[in-house]
Structures are given as structure tokens and as C-alpha cells.
Structure 1
Amino acid sequence: MSAVNDTKVQFSVFLLTGIPGHEDIHLCIAIPFCIMYVISLVGNSFLLFIIKTDPSLHEPMYIFLSMLALTDLGLSISTMPTILGIFLFNSREISLDACFAQLFFIHLLQGIESSTLLLMAFDRFIAICKPLRYASILTLPRVAKMGLVFMLRGVAVVYPLPFLLKRFQYCHSNVLSHSYCLHQEVMKLACADITVNNIYGLSTALLTMGLDSLLIFLSYVMILKTVLSIASRTESLKALNTCVSHLCAVLLFYVPEIGLSSIHRFGNSSSHLFQFVLGYFYLLVPPLLNPIVYSVKSKHLRARIIRVFIK
């Protein structure tokens, strides 16, 4: 009997979760999810098309915006198969390798998005604090190099995660609490010591998103200091207005990211409904709203979009 009790079952698949106890309304929930995905894909693709085809938009601010749109497209495509698979077809199973691949792309794209938001904050800092040197500092070759460096940083940081998870056996449970895979959740299902994974995951989060968010905060401290030194209140408000869309993107990205990471790492005492809302807000809402916010707030971009529809 003890030999039977000591036997550990090695799971070959994980089970994703929609809304526990409300499987009967999954099909109804799939409708708004499908609408959100369509708007995200169309909005970000259209934004990329406008920026690519209009030479007057080939400036650092709009290049960074196109990087943000590409990242949001990638996040939508990475999560769409499993989320819609659950709510449309009740397809909960995902193989271990597919789960590791999904979490790799999710964490990679999140790291790149965090870096892009930092680059956009740097762009606003130079535009407001050093306007006369803007063109000489943010040249197109330098912008391309900065984007490449941050992309390579993301790959280097996230690349070990699937391999750190692949070495484990999963025998405690195979049920995930979301409709997609995340490193901080998958590692808890391993029947082994996960100290290395925990330390590495927390360290990389602090050194990438944590450092990025700190630098963004410092950028806005310097921007606010410069704006307050402007004598004209009209000019001050005009300068701050150029930062509104970026601030919205920063809040949409970092607030749910920090909240969800805290829930997974420091306890699950919060309600399932709160985890559900935060989990989907975390990945679905920023790609949905970013192109809308920037299209509304950027006068130059809005004019180009209107011109396309008029034609």
C-alpha cells in the first residue's frame, strides 16, 4: 500500500480554466472576447499600416508607437487560441511543450512592451526637457539600435524560463487558474524544489519591468519639473497633454501586471472573480485600448487616419 501511495502520477497535459462553476455561460462570454480580439487585431494592424505608408510619420515617437502596436499584436495572437478555445469549444487541455512555448512568448512580449514604454518615456523626456537637441539625440539609426538592444534583452532574460520548467515533473496538480500559461503559476505545479525558478523569475521581473517602471517614473519627475518651470500655463498644459496617451498606456500595462504578479507570488487570498477580471484585463485590455487612445490623442495621427477614410 505504501508503494502505491508513494507513486507519483506524471501529468502530460495541463488543464486551463475559464470561469469555474460558470461553464454554462462560456459561450456568451466568448462573444465580447471575440469582439475585443477583432478590435485589437484590426486597430493595431491599421495603426501599423498608417505609420508605414505615411513618410511624415517616420519619426521616433511614431516608430516607438509602431513597436508598441507590434507587441500588442503578438500578445493578442499568443493568448487567442487558448482563451477562445476554452470559451467557444470547451477545449481545456494544453500539452506541456505548448504551455511552455506560450508562456515564453507572453513573458517575452511583455518584457518588450515594458521596454517600449520606457523608450516612449525617454522620447517625451527629450522632447520636453531638451527640445532643441531632440533631432540630434533621437536619430532614426539610434532609435533602431535602442529597439534592437531591448528586444535582445527580452530574449536573453526570458529564454531560460521554458528550460527551467521543462526539467520538472508535474504530479501535484495539472489545473491552471487562467486560460493561458504563466511561469509564476506553472512552476507551482512542479513536484520538486522551485527555489531557483522563484528567485530567477522574481529577479528578472525586478531587473526588467521593475527597472523600466522606475526609469519611467524618474523621467516623468524630470518632465514635471521642467513643465512647472515654464512661465506660461498654456504652454505647460500643452506640454503635459503630449504625455497623456503614454501615461494611459503605462497605467494600463503596469497596474494589472503588478497586481497579478503579487497574487501569484504572495498568495491567492483574493476572490476568484477579482483574479478572473484582473487576469483578462492584464492581457486583453492594453492591446485593445492603446491604438484607440493614441489615435484620439495624437492630432497628427488622427489627421492621417481621417484622410484615409475620406479617400
Structure 2
Amino acid sequence: MGPEDKAATILNATFVRPAKFYLSGFSNMPHEKYYYVFLGLIYIMTVLGNSLLMSVIYRVKTLHTPKYMIVFSLALTDLCGSTALIPKVLDTFLFDRREIVYEACLSYMFFVWFFAGLQSWTLVTMAYDRFIAICFPLRYHSIVTKPVIAAMLLFAWVFLFSLFALAIGLLDRLSFCGSLVIQSFFCDHGPVFRLACNDTSLNGVMAYVVLIVVMCCPLILIALTYVCITIALSRIASGVERLKALKTCTSHLILVAVFFLPLVGTNLAVLTSKIHPNARIINSILTHTVPALLNPIIYSLKTEEVLKCMRQFFKNRLRK
């Protein structure tokens, strides 16, 4: 066995785990600290908006329905997802603490992607709710019950937890014997496993599986539900009734567009063309943060029931 073969054997048999990674962030971007201050403002408004929506749903008994269980779950995942990402981004780049411990990096990656996946599948559960409400209105209350919705949401939590635990666990079998600079603003899955110097084919497969689970499958299921909803609405003779039924879907459609359009756009741009690293980072940050900010605003302003409950909630608080 030659020296090169021996070196390869030693490399394959030994896992080289670095003590720390280095997050590169933006490259030569002027006034980048103002952007992070802007992110801090987004985070504050996200926390306030989602906390308020959750408080209203929790305190107003008329909103203790399966539909608003889903809305509460979405607000919770938005809040947790933003908390998993933004404070660490601010700490890393505002205070120039770009080195991150290996174990902390994997945990960081897990929670950011876990809550992003939960946001995606919560939107699928919302689509299911609207599908039953419009296509089977007489059976809605017998089909869409609290135990059913709780089971769907719990399944999403358990399944996604297992999936991302597997994806992150597979990183632990890699050796990092070269560059430790992650070309991203957080410990992203792709930029991390591509730094490894041994076989990463399984990690590449997992990256595609995650993409399919987080983006492709939810989009396909939501599209199918709206095809069925469109067919059901076309059979309604009255235009007024058709419009009324469609209005119940507008909030959900806006949420879907806000979440999926940037996600699809960013991934298509990365796969089909070369985009500047700074542009990719800005798109990725906004994809992970803006939907969480807008979701409570959309539900508060586009849903009359929530708007009325919020007014009543504030009136009661002022009386006290």
C-alpha cells in the first residue's frame, strides 16, 4: 500500500471534528450593520405580533376552535423560528462573534430548519381545514375536530423532528480537514456539509429530501386542495355565495404566497444560475424572517373574526 493510500485510509477511518466553524456573512457589503439593526426591529415586531395573536386566541373562548388551533400553532412556530435565528445572527455579526462551536452549530442548524419545516406543514393543515370547510360544509364539524387537528399537528412535529435529527446526525460522520468558513449567515445545511473532505453523497441526498419535504410536498398538497376548492366553488350557482366562500381562503393564500414564493425563488436561483453571495444571503434571511412578521398582521387584518376579538380584548384590558 502506497503513502497516498495509507493517508486515504487514515482519513476515512478518523473523523476530524473541528472545535469551531467561522460564519462568513456578507462579503464587502457597505453599511451592513444597518441591515442587522433592521433585522432586530423585524424580530421585535415579530415577537409582539405573534405573542398578541396567541394571547387573543388563548383568552377568547370563541376562538377555541380547530381552525384557530392551527393559527395558534403557526404563530408559535413563527415565534420559535425567529427566536432560533435572529438573536444569534445579531450576536454573530453586530458584535463580530463569528466563530461558533461545532456542537452549537449543529443545534443552530437543527432548530432553524425544524421550525421552517413546521411553518410549511402548518400551512398544509390550514389548506386541509379550508378544503373540508368548502368541499364538505355539512360534515365540517364532524371531520375537522380538535383531536384530529391536534393529531395532524403532533404528527408534523414528530415527523419533522425525526427527519432533521437524521439530517443533522449524518453530518456527525463527516471529517472537516480543510476550510472551516461557512459561506452563509447561519449554520446552513448545504454550506456546512460541502466543507467536508470525505464522502458527502448521503448528505447531498438528505439535502434533496429536506427540500422535497419542506417545499415541494407542501406546495403540491396545497395546490391540490385549491384545485378541489375551485371545482367545488364552480358548482355554486350564486356568485355572492361563491365570493363569500372564497374570502375565507384569502388569508391562507396570502400566507402561502408570503412563505413559499421567496423560498422557491431563492432555491431556483441557486440551482439554475449563479447569484452574488450577498444577494443569496439577503434573500435567505428575508425568507426565514418576513413571513413570521407578516402572518399575525395578515390574520389580524384579513380575518374579521380575529379583528373583532382583538378589539374586544383591548376593551377588556382597558377596563381593568
Q: Give the TM-score taking structure 1 as reference length.
A: 0.91
Runs ≥4 residues deviating over 3 A: 6-11, 259-264
Give the equivalent residue in structure 1 for 2:255: 249
Q: Of 30, 37, 45, which residue of structure 2 is paired with 1:39?
A: 45
Structure 1 residue 191 and structure 2 residue 231: aligned? Answer: no
Is the 2:27–2:278 Cα contact (8 Å) retained in structure 1? no
CA distance in structure 2 between the aligned counterparts of 1:100 and 1:198, rounded to whole angstroms: 16
Deviations 1:223-246, CA, capped at 9 Å, x for gaps: 111112222222212211111111
User: After superposition, where does 1:124-139 map in structure 2 within 5 Å?
Assistant: 124-139=130-145
Deviation of residue 207 (structure 1)?
4.1
CA distance in structure 2 between the aligned counterparts of 1:148 and 1:42, rounded to whole angstroms: 25
Q: Of 13, 24, 38, which residue of structure 1 is paired with 2:20?
A: 13
Give the alignment's Cα RMSD to 1 decimal. Answer: 2.2
CA distance in structure 2 between the aligned counterparts of 1:101 and 1:261, rounded to whole angstroms: 23
Deviations 1:196-228, CA, capped at 9 Å, x for gaps: 111122124324542222111100001111112
Q: Of 225, 233, 242, which residue of structure 2 is paired with 1:236?
A: 242
Q: Which one is further off, 240-249 or 25-34?
A: 25-34
SS at structure 1 position matched to 2:176: coil
CA distance in structure 2 between the aligned counterparts of 1:237 and 1:171, rounded to whole angstroms: 61
Q: Which one is further off, 63-72 or 164-173?
A: 164-173
Change (3 A) 1:17 1:242: farther
Give the equivalent residue in structure 2 for 1:285: 290
CA distance in structure 1 between the aligned counterparts of 2:225 and 2:53, rounded to whole angstroms: 26
Same amino acid, percent of matched pairs: 35
Is the 2:20–2:100 Cα contact (8 Å) retained in structure 1? yes
SS at structure 1 position matched to 2:110: helix
User: After superposition, where does 1:68-79 map in structure 2 within 5 Å?
Assistant: 68-79=74-85
Is the 1:18–1:86 Cα contact (8 Å) retained in structure 2? no
Q: Of 280, 287, 299, which residue of structure 2 is paired with 1:294?
A: 299
Deviation of residue 92 (structure 1)?
1.0
Deviation of residue 158 (structure 1)?
1.1
Structure 2 residue runs of 5 or longer lacking an equivalent are none
Deviations 1:114-147, CA, capped at 9 Å, x for gaps: 2111110000001111111110001111111111
What is the number of residues matched between the two proteins? 306
Structure 1 residue runs of 5 or longer lacking an equivalent are none
Is the 2:121–2:156 Cα contact (8 Å) retained in structure 1? yes
Deviation of residue 167 (structure 1)?
1.6
Is the 1:26–1:88 Cα contact (8 Å) retained in structure 2? no
User: After superposition, where does 1:47-126 map in structure 2 within 5 Å?
Assistant: 47-126=53-132
Deviations 1:232-284, CA, capped at 9 Å, x for gaps: 222212211111111111122222223334455x3761123431321111111
Deviations 1:138-179, CA, capped at 9 Å, x for gaps: 111111111111211111211112221112122332222322
Q: Look up the equivalent residue of 2:23 and give its one-letter code.
A: L
CA distance in structure 2 between the aligned counterparts of 1:45 and 1:196, rounded to whole angstroms: 39
CA distance in structure 2 between the aligned counterparts of 1:35 and 1:181, rounded to whole angstroms: 22
Q: Look up the equivalent residue of 1:304 and give its one-letter code.
A: C
CA distance in structure 2 between the aligned counterparts of 1:272 and 1:46, rounded to whole angstroms: 36
Give the equivalent residue in structure 2 for 1:144: 150
Deviation of residue 83 (structure 1)?
1.1
